[in-house]
Amino acid sequence: MFNVIVRARKDSKAVKYINERNYGGFLKVSSLGGGRRFEEVEDKLKEVLEHPYIPILLFGEKEKELMRDVIRFVMETERPFYARSLRTKKVRNMRVDELYANLEEIKARFRLGLEWKETYVLNPKNTFGIEIHPDYDLYLAVGDDFRKSMKEILDVDLGETSLVLRKLLNQEVYFSGPNKVAEVSKKLGVLTEVLWKCPCTEDVSLESIIEANKGYIEAFVEASMTFLRQFEGYDIIVPWSGGKDSTATLILASEVFRKVSAVYVHMEYEMPETEDYVEKVAKKLGVELIKVDVPMPIDKFGMPSHRNRWCTKMKVEALYSVVKEFENPIIVVGDRDSESAKRRLKPPVIERKTQFGKILEIMPIKFWSGMMVQLFILMRGFKLHPLYYEGFYRLGCTICPSLAEWEVELLKRRGIKNLPKGY
């Protein structure tokens, strides 16, 4: 979660409007009280920086000198932050939609921006030069099996722990050390295509990435935990698929709340090893695990398709069959901005209408990248789901129509026969 900091109270009004309109009011907006010199804002700056949310500092063109002094001060705190001088005299003079676009681009910088220090270091200044886009994601290709799959299936060499920029339409750029080594199209419904490749690999240890990013990840963890603490007193329910996002969400929730219930909806055509992974992690976390088995009668409804995803409806109904038994439930989900534009445009808290009344759904890792999620899980002493080490980006069912040809090929190598139509 973010704390958007501006110089003047009138500037904060413009940002607060966007906060209410686009983020449900769940960002924090602060002003420095209107002072134009650093000495006039120093005390207020110290006060607003005490909040755990990640600082975004916005200034007008006439405030560049103040901005430089503020940046020097914030850098001494060693916290992740980003500052921008807008192309307008005052923040409040910028058109609302342009100001919102700036915020979306800055938010993306926090999950995509990098610097290279003999390893990958998250930094919104992005001296590494990653292409920044609000709908892109960043994740790590971890494990020897991932590397082996890329070589055997696509003839692409990756170094140890490759970095992957996931763009629109499942197009991925692979980095090995500081080098771009390949670009691969994993577009749904068509064969996987290597657009170009370069034999210029460089090994990067996963341990070095974890160590270099501990402070950055923990800052986001504390921001997300502060967001979660607003919902003390509810019955906390985490829908858990075993995937990285719901796993990170469950770990977070278990660190904030005394009691957490994890609901694992086990679909008939579940991905291999998921049930075993869920049971082991739940036991280690000490959370209540509620399992619901859902049959998938494809003989009756046919194979799921993008136009007829009857399986999703059954999965949601199974979840709600558990949720309705709680007196004061709230659902904590692992939705993230970079999964899709549709998810990015949702505020961090939404209200769902169900047959048993309205229920809140909250998203504590909404502003994280896949890489941040992976590092957090590993930092907490857990392994990722085994399929991530083989080359999967996301998990679902083996007959899911959203599986790319790449993922289907990985399942075939495991001997899985129930696959989407066309494969």
124, part of any domain: no
Which CATH number is 319's domain given? 3.40.50.620
CA angle centred on 289, ends 359 and 233, rounded to 5°: 40
Dist CA 187 CA 171 (whole Å): 7
Answer yes or no: do 387 and 240 share one domain. Answer: yes
In this prediction, what percent of the chain has a pLDDT beyond 90? 93
67, part of any domain: yes
User: Could you give the number of structural domains in the chain?
Assistant: 3
128, part of any domain: no
For the chain, give the mean pLDDT: 95
38, part of any domain: yes
Answer yes or no: do 355 and 400 share one domain. Answer: yes
Q: Hey, what are 186's tokens?
A: 């994993």
Domain assignment of residue 95, given as a range? 2-112
Answer yes or no: do 204 and 230 share one domain. Answer: no
Answer yes or no: do 256 and 352 share one domain. Answer: yes
Sign of CA dihedral 263, 268, 274, 279: positive
CA angle centred on 115, ends 334 and 162, rounded to 5°: 65
Answer yes or no: do 277 and 245 share one domain. Answer: yes
383, part of any domain: yes
Question: What are the Cα distances from residue 258, in Å, to 133, 261, 286, 331, 419?
Answer: 37, 10, 11, 15, 40
319, part of any domain: yes
Answer yes or no: do 335 and 377 share one domain. Answer: yes
**Average pLDDT of the residues in 144-161:** 96
Answer yes or no: do 347 and 204 share one domain. Answer: no
- What's residue 195's pLDDT? 98
- What's residue 422's pLDDT? 65
More confident residue, 24 or 306: 24
30, part of any domain: yes
**Average pLDDT of the residues in 254-264:** 96
Q: Hey, what are 401's tokens?
A: 């129509």
- What's residue 419's pLDDT? 86
Dist CA 247 CA 387 (whole Å): 14
- What's residue 418's pLDDT? 83
Q: What is the largest CA-CA distance in the chain?
A: 73
Helix/strand/coil (H/E/C) assignment for every residue in the chain: CEEEEECCHHHHHHHHHHHHHHHCCCCEEEECCCCCCHHHHHHHHHHHHCCCCEEEEEECHHHHHHHHHHHHHHHCCCCCCEEEECCCCCHHHCCHHHHHHHHHHHHHHHHHCEEECCCEEECCCCCCCCCCCCCCEEEEECCHHHHHHHHHHHCCCCCCCEEEEECHHHEEEEEECCEEEEEEECCCCCCCEEEEECCCCCCCCHHHHHHHCHHHHHHHHHHHHHHHHHHCCCEEEEECCCCHHHHHHHHHHHHHCCCEEEEEEEECCECCCHHHHHHHHHHHHCCEEEEEEECCCHHHHCCCCCCCCHHHHHHHHHHHHHHCCCCCEEEECCCCHHHCHHHHCCCCEEEEEECCEEEEEECCCCCCCHHHHHHHHHHCCCCCCHHHHHCCCCCCECCCCCCCHHHHHHHHHCCCCCCCCCC
Answer yes or no: do 55 and 102 share one domain. Answer: yes
Dist CA 57 CA 70 (whole Å): 9
117, part of any domain: no
Domain end, chosen from 112, 145, 180, is at 112
Q: Residue 241's CB: how many other CB atoms inside 10 A? A: 24
pLDDT digits (tens, 9 = 90+) for 193-242: 999 999 999 999 999 999 999 999 999 999 999 999 999 999 999 999 99
Answer yes or no: do 27 and 170 share one domain. Answer: no
Answer yes or no: do 243 and 282 share one domain. Answer: yes
Burial of residue 264 (number of CB atoms within 10 Å: 0-12, 13-18, 19+): buried
Answer yes or no: do 77 and 191 share one domain. Answer: no
Q: Hey, what are 9's tokens?
A: 């109270």
Is residue 322 scored above 80 in pLDDT? yes
pLDDT digits (tens, 9 = 90+) for 343-383: 999 999 999 998 888 999 999 999 999 999 999 999 999 99
Is residue 423 scored above 70 in pLDDT? no
Answer yes or no: do 297 and 229 share one domain. Answer: yes
Domain end, chosen from 184, 208, 232, is at 208
- What's residue 60's pLDDT? 95
- What's residue 340's pLDDT? 86
Domain end, chosen from 151, 184, 208, is at 208
